[in-house]
Amino acid sequence: MSLPTDHPLVSGKTATSPMVQALNGIAQSTPPIWFMRQAGRSLPEYREVRKGIGMLDSCLRPEIASEITLQPVRRHKVDAAVFFSDIVIPLKLAGVEVEIVPGVGPVLNSPVRTRSDFQKLDTLNEDSLKPIADAVRLCVAELGKTPLLGFGGAPFTLASYLIEGRPSKELPTCHTMMTTDPELWSDILQWCANITAEFLRTQINAGASAIQLFDSWAGRLTPTQYETYAMPHAKKVFQLIEDLPVPRIAFGVGTKKILKQMKSTGATVMGISNDISLEEAVKILGTNTPIQGNLDPELLLGNWEDIESAADQIIREGRSAKSHIFNLGHGVVPETDPYLLTKLVEHVHAAL
């Protein structure tokens, strides 16, 4: 299999966009820019559309998901749209009872902790994924030359919700399962790899020009734990979509110690969180890897002067990488003034 002939990378619509070029390692005179969580609560137009509709329900209504995806592109003139969805959507589509509790995050009715829980898990098919394909097609048609970035959760991060049943810093049930029942752990993560790969495949086939694999919590593992319990499964996701040639970004928070290992899963671009500078990231990864990042999202709650000088330093340091895509070190904080995000986009686009 390969990309459909009407795919925007094949038809030429997005292939020469600054975002796709930078993702492919061709440095741009000023870095393209987008924001993780650019769609969402920082925007009044988002809060308006979401009135009375649950978070995951809004992801499964194609007109709504498409509209929310387009909002930050219209407002901020960012160089890429990121598909409005969530890493737990494939769980929900596979029949897992999961809700996003505002201010908390994903919460499951029945976490998966035993072999018999695991055996009840279903798989995904074209029918269940139809709302995703429909939403992607709708927004790609509107986006024209602006690429859409698809995404999914890496097996470790996804499994952390599936097994703990809610957001957890220490991940106690996961740590116990890894060491006392490594076979069950591995089977659950392989299942997660399969459903995330199907989720990504659907987005790519419907027109996403690149994808990002979020292993947001991988930085909580030691390098040895990451290598044994998470990395093989992240690798599997990329292997499962190997036939679809799009740029592949890997991202996690606090991943300094495992940056090289994350790259070796098959990512072509590395997302950098703000625990290290881009200079350090280039030292670790070498000058042959495109990088993305990494302004501290909390700086956007402060004044413009601090944002500007931090952004300028990031642009300077990004020039030593093969290519650079400007982003935050993690998602936009809901309290961010959207005016500052627009101003940052203008500033980065005008950088000398």
- Residues binding ligand CP3 (CB under 6 A): 36-41, 50, 55, 82, 84, 86-87, 100, 102-103, 105-106, 151, 167, 214, 216, 331
Encoded tokens for 287: 């000058």
- The CB-of-151 to ligand CP3 minimum distance in angstroms stands at 5
The nearer residue to ligand CP3, 73 or 311, going by C-beta atoms, is 73
The nearer residue to ligand CP3, 148 or 314, going by C-beta atoms, is 148
Burial environment of residue 2 by CB neighbours within 10 A (0 to 12, 13 to 18, 19 or more):
exposed
The nearer residue to ligand CP3, 87 or 193, going by C-beta atoms, is 87
> How far is 39 from 19, CA to CA, in rounded Å?
18
Alpha carbon distances (Å) from 52 to 44, 56, 89, 104, 342: 15, 12, 19, 18, 28
The nearer residue to ligand CP3, 161 or 322, going by C-beta atoms, is 161
The nearer residue to ligand CP3, 4 or 105, going by C-beta atoms, is 105
- Indicate the SS3 state at residue 135: helix
> How far is 338 from 352, CA to CA, in rounded Å?
24
- The CB-of-11 to ligand CP3 minimum distance in angstroms stands at 25
Characterise 26 by phi-psi region: left (phi > 0), alpha (psi -120 to 50), beta (else). beta
> Residue with structure tokens 């993560």?
189
With contact defined as beta carbons under 8 Å apart, do 250 and 213 qualify?
Answer: yes
- The CB-of-91 to ligand CP3 minimum distance in angstroms stands at 11
- The CB-of-82 to ligand CP3 minimum distance in angstroms stands at 4
- The CB-of-322 to ligand CP3 minimum distance in angstroms stands at 24
- The CB-of-342 to ligand CP3 minimum distance in angstroms stands at 15
- Helices and strands: H and E segment counts in the chain: 16, 9
The nearer residue to ligand CP3, 151 or 226, going by C-beta atoms, is 151
